[in-house]
């Protein structure tokens, strides 16, 4: 008999049910609409749902393993995201030391500081020390060609993929009076709301999408998708307030702010992809693209959510 008092059990049971429903929808569409023939939209939908099974399962496992596993897991996600980001940039041979430092110095030290819960240092490590160190390493190679572009690109990659994303596991160390040790639930809340918003924007856009929002950056985004997705994800946040320290209204407000930031994260990273002439950041997740295609919204929402909660609740 599952422990129904445990919010995680309920949460993941709910997620499993939702995915089961999505898989059934895919199965029905495949037989009724595509009649067993290849169909780009339906095949992509099924691939996405299958990938969600993996992602939810992995996340469940990591949560079950506990705090160390969660921090290690996000360090790995940062690594994969940073790798995707830096791969498409135009760095030169003279950037090799700076690239090495971003992968093997900035990333592990930053996550180690989160692990030992040293807020006053991790919160400035990348924006201050990393910011200054990386261009110094590049300058030492003596190559001035496109220097500012190269230096700024690497700094940007570390900020988004390591610093911003790491605010998710950093939620573990927020001490909210009366809710100590509930950090894992805050992470689950944010991931669910923001990823839910991405999915719901996609669904609403596919169902009702008429007016393109930003044809130059992200042709698939529509106003109908955005408004429908934001409103339903906000409602989802309110409905999930029972796993958080927030009232339903507060949860709705935080969910709304997070999803707006998440939307802009997707838009900004789309602009970079457009500029580099690529459609996806990678091919790591079948049907979704790369790690950054899935994490773009979380990279932009996590720091804001973290600081809103930290300021108003601790």
Name the helix (H) or strand (E) containing 139: helix 131-140
Contact between 293 and another protein (CB under 8 A)?
Answer: no
> Which token pair is 67?
């705090």
Residue among 110 and 167 whose Cβ is closer to another protein: 110
Contact 234/243 with Cβ under 8 angstroms? no
Which among 160, 196, 167, 174 is positioned nearest to 305, based on CA atoms? 167
Chosen residue from 41, 61, 66, 104 binding another protein by CB under 8 A: 104
Binding mask of the shown chain, residues 114 to 153, with x at each position contacting another protein by CB under 8 A: ----------------------------------------
Q: How many residues bind another protein (CB under 8 A)?
A: 19
Backbone phi, psi, residue 175, to 5°: -105, 95
CB of 253 to another protein, least distance (A): 38
CB of 125 to another protein, least distance (A): 20
| Dist. CA 83–CA 144, nearest whole Å | 24
Contact between 103 and another protein (CB under 8 A)?
Answer: yes
CB of 110 to another protein, least distance (A): 17
> Which token pair is 213?
């929002």
Exposed (0-12), middle (13-18) or buried (19+): which is 103, by Cβ within 10 Å?
Answer: middle
Exposed (0-12), middle (13-18) or buried (19+): which is 300, by Cβ within 10 Å?
Answer: buried
| Dist. CA 101–CA 99, nearest whole Å | 5
Chosen residue from 26, 84, 252, 297 binding another protein by CB under 8 A: 84
Residue among 29 and 76 whose Cβ is closer to another protein: 76
Residue among 90 and 117 whose Cβ is closer to another protein: 90
Contact between 220 and another protein (CB under 8 A)?
Answer: no
Name the helix (H) or strand (E) containing 252: helix 248-276
Contact between 91 and another protein (CB under 8 A)?
Answer: yes
Contact between 290 and another protein (CB under 8 A)?
Answer: yes
CB of 82 to another protein, least distance (A): 9
CB of 95 to another protein, least distance (A): 9
Exposed (0-12), middle (13-18) or buried (19+): which is 28, by Cβ within 10 Å?
Answer: exposed
What secondary structure does DSSP assign to 112-159, as a single string?
A: HHHHTT-HHHHHHIIIIIIHHHHHHHHHHTT--TTHHHHHHHHHHHHI
Contact between 296 and another protein (CB under 8 A)?
Answer: no
Residue among 84 and 224 whose Cβ is closer to another protein: 84
Contact between 283 and another protein (CB under 8 A)?
Answer: yes
- Binding stretches for another protein (CB under 8 A): 79-80, 83-84, 86-87, 90-93, 96, 99-100, 103-104, 282-284, 290
């Amino acid at each position: 008999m599952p422990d129904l008092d445990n919010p995680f059990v309920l949460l993941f049971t709910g997620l499993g049910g939702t995915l089961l429903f999505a898989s059934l929808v895919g199965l029905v569409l495949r037989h009724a609409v595509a009649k067993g023939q290849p169909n780009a939209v339906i095949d992509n939908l099924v691939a996405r749902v299958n990938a969600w099974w993996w992602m939810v399962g992995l996340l469940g496992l990591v949560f079950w393993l506990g705090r160390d596993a969660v921090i290690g897991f996000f360090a790995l996600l940062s690594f994969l995201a940073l790798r995707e980001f830096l791969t498409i940039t135009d760095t030169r041979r003279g950037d090799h030391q700076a690239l090495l430092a971003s992968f093997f110095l900035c990333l592990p030290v930053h996550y180690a500081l989160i692990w030992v819960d040293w807020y006053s240092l991790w919160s400035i490590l990348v924006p201050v020390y990393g910011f200054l160190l990386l261009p110094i390493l590049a300058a030492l190679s003596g190559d001035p060609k496109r220097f500012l572009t190269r230096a700024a690109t690497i700094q940007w990659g570390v900020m988004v993929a390591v610093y911003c994303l790491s605010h998710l596991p950093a939620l573990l160390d927020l001490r909210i009076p009366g809710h100590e040790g509930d950090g894992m639930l805050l992470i689950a809340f944010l991931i669910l709301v923001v990823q839910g918003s991405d999915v719901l924007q996609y669904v609403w856009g596919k169902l009702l999408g008429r007016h393109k929002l930003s044809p130059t950056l992200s042709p698939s985004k529509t106003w109908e998708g955005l408004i429908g997705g934001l409103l339903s994800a906000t409602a989802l946040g309110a409905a999930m307030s029972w796993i958080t320290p927030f009232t339903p209204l507060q949860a709705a407000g935080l969910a709304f702010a997070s999803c707006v930031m998440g939307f802009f994260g997707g838009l900004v990273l789309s602009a970079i992809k457009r500029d580099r002439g690529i459609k996806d950041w990678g091919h790591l997740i079948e049907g979704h693209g790369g790690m950054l295609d899935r994490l773009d919204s979380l990279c932009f929402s996590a720091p804001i959510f973290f600081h809103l909660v930290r300021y108003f609740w601790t």
